[in-house]
Structure 1
Amino acid sequence: MMERIFAILILVAVILPCGLVAEDRAAGDRMGDPQAGYEHLINTPYLPPYFDQETFDNVWRVWPKTLRDQAEQADADQRRQMAFERYGLTGRVEDPTKPLQYVVDKKGTWTLNCFSCHGGQVDGKTIAGLPNNRFDFAGITDEIRLTKALLGKKLVPTDYSSLVFPMGNNKGTTNAVNFGVALLSLRDADLKLVPGASFPKMLHHDMEPPPWWHFVKKENLYLDGFAPKGHRGLLQFTLVKENKAQAFRDREEDFRDVYAYLNSLEAPKYPGSVDQAQAKQGRIVFHNHCSECHGTHGENADYPERMVPIDVVKTDRARLDSLSPAHREGYGQSWFNSYGQQAGLIADPAGYVAPPLDGVWATAPYLHNGSVPTLWHLLHPDERPKLWRWKSLGYDHQRMGISVEVLDEVPRGLSSIERREVFDTSRFGKSASGHDFPNVLNDTEKADLLEYLKTL
């Protein structure tokens, strides 16, 4: 019984597959409609509803006293903004009163969507497709559950999620890979639920979501590059128990539109000033030291999609070890991968695929686990803080990334939400080591390179 409940709880996590599917070029496929894809994501609930408008409007009542007193004196709009900031939600560009990260239907029910992790804000601007470095999945789950109890509302399986499954130890990161492992392990190749199926042993760890504008350049998906791309894989996030096998077939046309939308996204341009002369020198540094893995930009741009062995890149290997060859093969032989008809599956990858760097200025924190707060720290491996926390929501234009406070120890007396503001690189899966290639550069070259990265 617990396993069945557990299965439902974690399925609300839309993080794992949403940003990782590019255009399916199979012969005869209908070309998707990008605008329709966006509309599907913000208006169509593909999961069971999580909570209602009344619950969200009253969530402030379970906040700590100081914040609760502030909210009590605020009006409804101000309280909504306080809640948005607390949980890492943003208003939609076309309607700031509506959350980008949730489908809110006419009845006022809220359902999580892909933008929970793949729609965020940088330098005060909301950008669809941007990694949401503020989303607190565990925080909103816990406090919505408390609010429902306060209002006497019925709890749903999702409300128990964080009690039995790690949701994420830091804001902006989630245990996304294991959500996918757990979901697919309960289904056969046709996506039918298997009676008595149980979860495999899982290596829990946190991941920073990738930007959606990268996938158009890729042939294979995910950090370890194991999966051939195709629009069906987008539907992984709907593997809740309530969705029977036929539901995926019925929704396939929607997701042709969704990945057409993803395929249309472009990286945001850096909004600050750029020293063009310095950036020109940085372009030379980039070409000589970075382009072999990350590709080139401008005329004749090329992205090599290079797999870098783990013993070479030396970044945290928890993500690589979290998927077994059997799991990757299981995905490859399923409906998601057209029962193995899509060639290119890599069951046992050697390391991580170096990502393209379009819009890299906007995607802090860095490395796949979000352990490095700025591009400056990425280029200065010996200066990366071992323990840091968010200082403000403002963008650090000097170091290019999030504004942080370096700590000597974890402060005492923090609430659980405040604790998730603190990034401790000594914890499992949180290492900021590796990618020490910039050590061959001198300080001038690093400064020039940092300026060039603004232009991508």
Structure 2
Amino acid sequence: MKFQNPLRPFSHPLLATVCLVGFSVIGIGWVPLAADETVRTSSSAERGYRFLTEHPVLTSDFSQDTFDQVWQSWPEPLRRQAETATLQERRAMAFERYGLTTRPDDDSGKPLQYVVDDDGTWTMNCFSCHGGSVYGKSTPGAPNNRFALQTMTEEIRSTKFKLGRPFSRMDMGALFIPLGTTHGTTNAVVFGMGLMSSRDADLNVVNTPPTSFTHHDMDAPPWWTFHKRPYLYIDGFAEKGHRGLMQFTLIPENGPEFYRENENAFRDVYDYLASLRPPKYEGEVNVDLAEQGRVVFNQTCAECHGTYDRQFGGDDWTYPNRRIPINDIGTDPVRLKALSVEGRKKYASSWFANVGQDDQQDTIVAPDGYVAPPLDGIWASPPYFHNGSVPTLWHVLHPTQRPQVWRRISEAIDDAKMGFSIEVVDKVPLTHPDVAVRRTYFDTRRFGKSNQGHDYPDLLSEDEKNAVLEYLKTL
């Protein structure tokens, strides 16, 4: 699973693919803001959202016209169905196929996941991974667990070839680097490492020898936990800051001056991420059972995941930001090992980790495990584990019953198991004629996709597990 780094000739703006993968965030406890600070933060957060959706910080991917003709590269019978459809119906089909959503409270029809300018040019943004749907409802900040970047890139490239249009770096780079082997996951970390390897500490482009990276898929975390944790990434190696949010814009076209000129805009983006909170569960909750689950949770889970008692009328929460050694947590180790100490040190010495006035941020260059995340809105952000290998919270709580090969079959929530509605199969149907269908299956036997580990729920009785599951709905 190691390949030479082709990012020098084909460096692509994978901000949307990579941006903030693993990013999560601050503090312990809750402190009310002063009125003027609330207004300032609200205003800057609004600017941050507009910046992400309206300001391209990467080179463009394709035109509206190319997107509107991508159906010509679809397999039958889907292509025949699109041929007789209206333009709007074709666009809806393409959104469905590629995991795109429209923007909430916006009738423009533009995708949340791309900046689309007045000329119809599409440029990926951070929402491609961090803006999906919560069981069918478009939700900025939710993991895009349906994003089909590899499939879309292949079919856009094929369409461009038919139309005689030039390829983008994404089109070319995807020939050499896997963008995500399962829909909803991304090989984002590798792009971050590759883009960083070709810069010096001041972000000047430098010549570096070819580098090999370990390709692996990741599941994007929800942004609504950003306000809690002090460090970025699943292993918590980089202290949080607005500069760190800019790392994945390191395309050759963006020189050092780009980062100075756009730093204030990313302060706004930071405020936007910090303003997000999870949606509330709208189904029925057995309050008595949930209260039993809260007690069990606080006795057995809060040590790592924190407390959430404000959901029951209190004002306080805690988050320990605790890193669990890999030999203890037992989840897939590929992500932890994929980032080298040298690469982490390079980040630590760069402009991204120096927040100004010689104030160097803390960087953990040799983390020994993964940080237990906050569980705010956990019911709304399947699949679970950092690689997206577990489809429901019920399966998280029942380690021995996690399926080996599964796929999502509906947008609707599985209210009993809290997560995806799935089917379990023996193997991926590799002979299926539509590659997009094949990529909807998650095979936990593949490299980097293990669903093992986090066996702590085995210490609970079945009644305790049911109570905890009910309690998780309230977070």
TM-score by structure 2 length? 0.91
1:306-336 deviations in whole A, cap 9, x for unaligned?
Answer: 0111011000000100111111111011000
- 1:289 maps to 300
Give the Cα separation in 2 of the matches to 1:307 and 1:98. Answer: 39
- 2:350 maps to 334
Match status 1:446 vs 2:465: yes
Deviates more, 1:250-259 or 1:72-81: 72-81
Which residues in structure 2 correspond to 1:215-234 (within 5 Å)? 215-234=226-245
- 2:365 maps to 347
* Residues 399 and 452, structure 2, Cα contact 8 Å, conserved in 1: yes
* Residues 281 and 449, structure 1, Cα contact 8 Å, conserved in 2: yes
* Residues 21 and 233, structure 1, Cα contact 8 Å, conserved in 2: no
Q: Which of 358, 381, 400 does residue 399 from structure 2 map onto?
A: 381
1:208-248 deviations in whole A, cap 9, x for unaligned?
Answer: 01110112111111111100111011111210011111111
TM-score by structure 1 length? 0.95
CA positional deviation for 1:359: 0.2
CA positional deviation for 1:355: 0.2
Give the Cα separation in 2 of the matches to 1:377 and 1:55. Answer: 41
* Residues 103 and 112, structure 1, Cα contact 8 Å, conserved in 2: yes
Task: Label 1:434 to 1:21 Cα distance change in 2 as closer, same or farther (>3 A).
Answer: closer
- 2:327 maps to 311
| Partner SS state of residue 394, structure 1 | strand
| Partner SS state of residue 218, structure 2 | coil
| Partner SS state of residue 14, structure 1 | helix
CA positional deviation for 1:264: 0.4
Q: Which amino acid aligns with 2:224?
A: W
Match status 1:38 vs 2:52: no
Give the Cα separation in 1 of the matches to 2:212 and 2:183. Answer: 25
Deviates more, 1:355-364 or 1:228-237: 228-237
Give the Cα separation in 1 of the matches to 2:51 and 2:417. Answer: 37
Aligned residues: 450
- 1:166 maps to 178
* Unmatched 5+ stretches in structure 2: 28-39
1:356-411 deviations in whole A, cap 9, x for unaligned?
Answer: 00000011000000000000111000000011112222221111111111001222
Deviates more, 1:8-17 or 1:435-444: 8-17
| Partner SS state of residue 421, structure 2 | strand
Which residues in structure 2 correspond to 1:111-150 (within 5 Å)? 111-150=123-162
- 2:34 maps to none
- Identical positions, percent: 51
Task: Label 1:366 to 1:210 Cα distance change in 2 as closer, same or farther (>3 A).
Answer: same
Task: Label 1:23 to 1:447 Cα distance change in 2 as closer, same or farther (>3 A).
Answer: closer
- 2:18 maps to 16
CA positional deviation for 1:10: 3.9
CA positional deviation for 1:6: 4.8
Give the Cα separation in 2 of the matches to 1:203 and 1:350. Answer: 18
- 1:325 maps to 341
Task: Label 1:264 to 1:346 Cα distance change in 2 as closer, same or farther (>3 A).
Answer: same
Q: Which amino acid aligns with 1:388?
A: W
CA positional deviation for 1:145: 0.3
Match status 1:263 vs 2:267: no
Give the Cα separation in 2 of the matches to 1:226 and 1:212. Answer: 18
Task: Label 1:447 to 1:135 Cα distance change in 2 as closer, same or farther (>3 A).
Answer: same
* Residues 186 and 199, structure 1, Cα contact 8 Å, conserved in 2: no
- 2:262 maps to 251
Q: Which amino acid aligns with 2:387?
A: N
- 1:433 maps to 452
CA positional deviation for 1:23: 7.7
Q: Which amino acid aligns with 1:352?
A: Y
Give the Cα separation in 2 of the matches to 1:174 and 1:259. Answer: 22
RMSD: 1.9
